[in-house]
Structure 1
Amino acid sequence: MEPQAHYYNLDLEWTETRKGKISSPQLNDEIEVATPPEFPGGIEGIWSPEHLFTASVVSCFMTSFTAVAEYSKLDFKSLKCPAVGKMERIDKKFIMSEVVIKPELVIKNTKDEEKAMKLLHKAEEICLITRSIKTEVKMEAIVKITETV
């Protein structure tokens, strides 16, 4: 039987001004984080909580898609997925109100086009991050075919 809970440990260490670094005893790399430049004291060129929020949605979509594609035996050549997180002030508070993901899936066979689109939507539906947040997640999927059979 699978465990009912999994834990993901992070450590944040403030380094200076509005910057810090995030690490995990489970991972090798650190991520430098900072207040985004849109805010006073924000710093350009460093991952912000808003970037990481958007990244969690799009990376969860990718891992969900690869799982359902493997299970459904969909042969695909590539997947790229630009994403945009929208932060706005609502009722005098900033929130991440929307994340738009735009997966572009390349498959080999025309016969798999409908299946591919269904699996893209299934991945968005089962993504645990999307299910865990109140932010609206929109998907604008494109399936491209490289060869026909």
Structure 2
Amino acid sequence: MSSNEEHSYVVNIAWKKGRIGTMDSPAINDKLDVATPPEFPGGVEGVWSPEHLFTASVSSCFLTSFTAVAEYSKFEFEDLNISSSGKMSRDENGKFVMSEITIIATLIISDEAKEKKAYRLLEKAEQICLITRSIKAEVKLEPSVKIEVPA
């Protein structure tokens, strides 16, 4: 990718009711409701919040970064499961910020001899994630590799 290259991602949100909106994009078939999280006044339970989407953007970027690194390295794996959590806390000015994202990544491989490489690739994926490099929140990776021979 050249340094002059730019990409744009269009997102539209239309107010639905109360604290809920519907998000869509001309590039995506699905729509998604978004709302204030229930931890805040007027928040809505059971609807994606900006805080969930922020956390999801980091973990989905990790997923796509890992699959790209694995493909480039010709590294075969059986499965990858990611659980992530975002922590919101007050900064030094007393304002809420997304301060930390923890990514728990469990990679399943079938060849025990490739375990060290698996950990290196998981760490590389976290390092090259474009979203992680674009945010202030600390991103913590908790990788694990499991060896399972397919039946």
> TM-score scaled to structure 2, two decimals?
0.95
CA distance in 2, matches of 1:145, 1:74: 14
Structure 1 segments, 4+ long, off by >6 Å, are none
Cross-structure match for 2:140: 138
Cα RMSD of the aligned pairs, angstroms, is: 1.3
Q: Could you tell me whether the CA contact under 8 Å between 1:110 and 1:147 is conserved in 2?
A: no
> Residue 129 of structure 2 is aligned with which of 120, 127, 130?
127
CA distance in 2, matches of 1:147, 1:15: 49
Cross-structure match for 1:104: 106
- Consecutive unaligned residues of structure 1, counting only runs of 5 or more, are none
CA distance in 1, matches of 2:12, 2:141: 32
> TM-score scaled to structure 1, two decimals?
0.96
Query: Is 1:8 aligned to residue 9 of structure 2?
Result: yes
Give the match's secondary structure for 1:40: coil
CA distance in 1, matches of 2:45, 2:136: 27
Equivalent residue runs for 1:85-100 within 5 Å: 85-90=86-91, 91-100=93-102
CA distance in 2, matches of 1:147, 1:92: 51
Q: Which amino acid aligns with 1:94?
A: F
CA distance in 2, matches of 1:70, 1:116: 12
Aligned residues: 148
Cross-structure match for 1:20: 21
Give the fraction of aligned pairs with identical amino acids, expressed as a percent.
57
CA-CA distance at 1:89 after TM superposition: 1.4
CA-CA distance at 1:133 after TM superposition: 0.3
Q: Which amino acid aligns with 1:24?
A: S
Cross-structure match for 1:71: 72
Q: Which amino acid aligns with 1:95?
A: V
Cross-structure match for 2:46: 45
User: When you count strand as a share of all residues, which structure comes out higher?
Assistant: 2
CA distance in 2, matches of 1:17, 1:42: 9
CA-CA distance at 1:92 after TM superposition: 1.2
